[in-house]
Chain A
């Protein structure tokens, strides 16, 4: 009985943690595109499995992945994005950035209404960004820090005025990251405790109808959606199923049509993709770009020494990890910025390479140089390795790391706790030596990467920021410059320099770029129309009868 309960604990805990990483590489995958000759069929109910159940529908307060999958059907953003990571019109039909980069003028789509019939205007944009996102959104406080005011000269124009250029801000205006809220609903009452948090009213192609906790959410077609003729679906139902094997079963029996963010476990994916009616894709996560890492506590022995950190980086065979622990879903990582950013030039592979064939040899040499000689039984020193409490793969990853470190003379004891205990240990008490982790690096390095290496992000008690407490004045400087540099070529140069320095100092071992998988019934068409994947509105999706 206890053993089964522990097993269930693992899978449930995995579901809790699963909110944090996504990424895909566009160039390597065939991107499913709408075939222009096939006419979409109207009607049908799409059943999507979302794991775990979202805690809320208030995507302006929570950026958790399950929230993103459901709330984005109801709320929209000013911009959408294409697979080259360039902004496209959304609720903003056009925009112009001033030459000094401190002012952006957005022209909004006209005659857009919220689900309650009231019109969407620039007043809603101003309210949402300044009163809600900048104050209460977990990333908005940082994303909009340069924003000082929004002028609304007429109901379809919003002018963003910044204190300094903010090139990253344009990447953060999707319906997932910055949903546009109705001012007339949310201006009364406390937005953090609002009754409409779970009764969302937006401009999106689907209206929220009901939420039966523990079971499903239902969204019906919005008949007065501003994109004429859309959406094609009548209804979207999201189901919440706690057990991994059961999730695979519902796709197999066609009770559900689509499940993303590894709701279907990798081991089941390999089994399901052999079925005729099942398709799978790793595309649609390019704006999340997660990286699996090993985090060091750089303020205590032994990992305060850069040579020891580099030794650990050499000891890991990244390809082995991807192939054997993640069933082939992933790519070896080289540094703090995901290779998805090759698309806009910010990524460079020209950094110190730890993924070499003689890695163990190099590691041994470095540890000898650092003064940690082998003692009795060949052990140089002992550490405790914390394991991310998200599921099976992480435990196996921990076991693999223990094995590799054993080869270079480090004796490892593994420790695993549940999510809140682990978060407390790592980000509040700093009571760890080595932990595995995974972090979304998001749509722009300023939003997702700076928080891990900047000295200003060393904030005790805040999660998923600079928990290693490493920083240097040079890298701080580079990040500050990159945040306001508007010339793309210069920006790329700054980031290339940053990547070299961080990889040299190795405060984190970059293991691999995680690939998420969306398993879908082949009847579902056009659900993947942007790098936002399941975070897009599904206005173009349709079901083949």
Chain B
């Protein structure tokens, strides 16, 4: 039964609620498997502790409660959008996540946009000149960038462009000692963004290029393309006017999946470039057994994935009129 767009959106969002709660409960229980708790970590970092100190910490964190009580408390808090308190950082979890969300998006959005658009472009070119030198060059380069470990690529870029040439800063989001404001700050951040964005883009571009290339090759065999050619349209018109829109669809699906992964998956780049993003925060909070923070990040990720999947499905329907919302 075909439904209106609004009804579709409402139904999907309602379905999302139990899914997200299930994800939270599952994550919570999975984390419990890891031995050791936040009190162990904090005391371990302090380099020394007394039993009273550790008991004090455990009481403060609520770790002396049975597990099901902890889970219930957490889930009921999330239902009221209270993501809890990070005892390690001494701040509410929502505040921590919001402060790191900005830098993460600053990295994610350009990477996604550039890699998808460049991927589509390069993939189309490679497919157009199939097996000729353009295709061979693009395919080889793309395999190389995909195969290179991300942290190594990042470090090599730093060595070349920062240490040797001095064109870009080595790390961080802005020049600390300068305390820029306004336009100068924007330029400064953009300057710092270049290397990390390039590093990540190099990796993701490979995915979209290969996908687009395969997709265009497939579309080339379709009837409508034969029709267009027999009408006398030039190759360029056939490719850019007709094939492109159809070939894009798999790439968009992939981009939707990657958007969710990028949120937490940029850990390596964030580490190498000391970029204050969510990936690094999640990674550190696992080793610190900072449960509230970790679960908060999982929650945000789950919500984002659900929303992005919804957006991709809607986009599909608008791009391809044959697809109906059910």
Contact = CB atoms under 8 A, between A and B. Distances in A.
A55 B293 CA distance: 13
Secondary structure of the B contact surface, majority rule? helix
Contacts of B151: 4, 7-8, 243
Given A215-B276, A246-B273, A419-B36, A237 B52 contact: no
A64 B45 CA distance: 5
A218 B177 CA distance: 9
Interface string B242-278: 0000000000000000000000000110111110110
A142 interface: yes
Interface stretch (A248-256, A485-493, A516-524): A248-256
A237 B177 contact: yes
Contacts, number: 201
Interface string A245-285: 11001101101000000000000000000000000000000
Interface stretch (A95-103, A164-172, A192-200, A525-533): A192-200
Interface string B105-123: 0000000000000000000
B162 A249 contact: yes
Nearest to B283: A12
Contact of A420 (B44, B162, B173): B44
B47 A64 contact: yes
Contact of B51 (A56, A65, A459): A459
Contact of A136 (B56, B88, B177): B56
A242 interface: yes
Interface of B: 34-38, 40-54, 56, 60, 88-91, 96, 99-100, 149-152, 155, 158-159, 162-163, 166, 169-173, 176-177, 267-268, 270-274, 276-277, 280-281, 283-284, 287-289
Nearest to B276: A214
8 contacts: A12-B271, A138-B53, A213-B89, A213-B276, A242-B270, A246-B171, A249-B163, A422-B36
A508 interface: no
A211 B229 CA distance: 63
Interface residues of A, number: 70
A378 B34 CA distance: 37
A435 interface: no
Contacts of A4: 149-152, 268
Contacts of A197: 90
Nearest first, the 6 closest Cβ-Cβ pairs linking A and B are A420-B36, A214-B276, A424-B36, A241-B274, A64-B45, A45-B177
Contact of B35 (A12, A141, A240, A421): A421
A139 interface: yes
A214 B280 contact: yes
Contact of B40 (A252, A255, A463): A463
A64 B46 contact: yes
A203 B14 CA distance: 56
Interface in A1-43: 1, 3-5, 7-8, 11-13, 16-17, 19-20
A447 B287 CA distance: 28
A385 interface: no
B260 to A, nearest CB: 16
B35 A16 contact: no
A45 B177 CA distance: 7
Q: Which of B35, B44, B48 has the most CB of A within 10 A?
A: B48
Interface of A: 1, 3-5, 7-8, 11-13, 16-17, 19-20, 45, 47, 55-56, 62-65, 136, 138-139, 141-142, 192-193, 197-198, 212-216, 218, 235, 237, 239-243, 245-246, 249-250, 252-253, 255, 417-425, 427-428, 440, 448, 451, 459, 461-465
B271 A242 contact: yes
Given A62-B42, A246-B272, 18 more contacts: A4-B268, A8-B271, A55-B42, A63-B46, A64-B45, A65-B47, A138-B49, A198-B90, A214-B100, A216-B176, A243-B272, A418-B34, A420-B35, A420-B289, A423-B40, A440-B48, A463-B44, A464-B48
Contacts of A462: 43, 49-51, 53-54
Contacts of B271: 8, 11-12, 242-243
B45 A55 contact: yes
Contacts of B46: 19, 62-64, 138
A193 B87 CA distance: 9
A3 to B, nearest CB: 8
Nearest to B47: A20
B234 to A, nearest CB: 42
A451 B51 CA distance: 12
Contacts of A237: 176-177
Contacts of A193: 60
B158 A192 contact: no
A420 B287 contact: yes
Contacts of A62: 42, 45-46
